Amino acid sequence: MRLILLFAGLLGLLTAQASEIDQAAAISALQQSDSLLIDVRSAEEFADGALPGAIRIGHEDIAAQIASVAPDKDRPLVLYCRSGRRSALAQQSLEQMGYSRVINAGAYDDLRPLLENRE
């Protein structure tokens, strides 16, 4: 019985962390004037380089800080991090809070050239 509970818990954890990366939707959303680009990496990573116009809110702080920058829960929010894992966690938190237009753009290094090609 313990093994079943452990397996169910691990499966739930993996499911909770899984969020599809959708860079096409992210690029499209960023073309809207009301969209917000959020970097959920650490302050050190952000200082080493960030996407133009991005604001930093660490994934662990997103639930506590999002209302100060995006009180409208229908505003398009585009999230990115180093690999897509932390942005997936942040996306899940925001969706649980009722934010309806949250997009996981995935990795900074993958998204940067796509945005540069747009300019």
Q: Are 104 and 21 spatial neighbours (Cβ–Cβ below 8 Å)?
A: yes
Measure the CA dihedral 62/67/70/76, to 10°: 50
The CA distances from residue 83 to 36, 43, 46, 67, 74, in Å, are 19, 16, 14, 25, 25
Measure the CA dihedral 33/36/37/40, to 10°: 180
Q: Which of the following is catalytic: 51, 81, 94, 111?
A: 81
Active site residue 81: yes
Q: How many CB atoms lie within 10 A of CB 58?
A: 18
Active site residues: 81
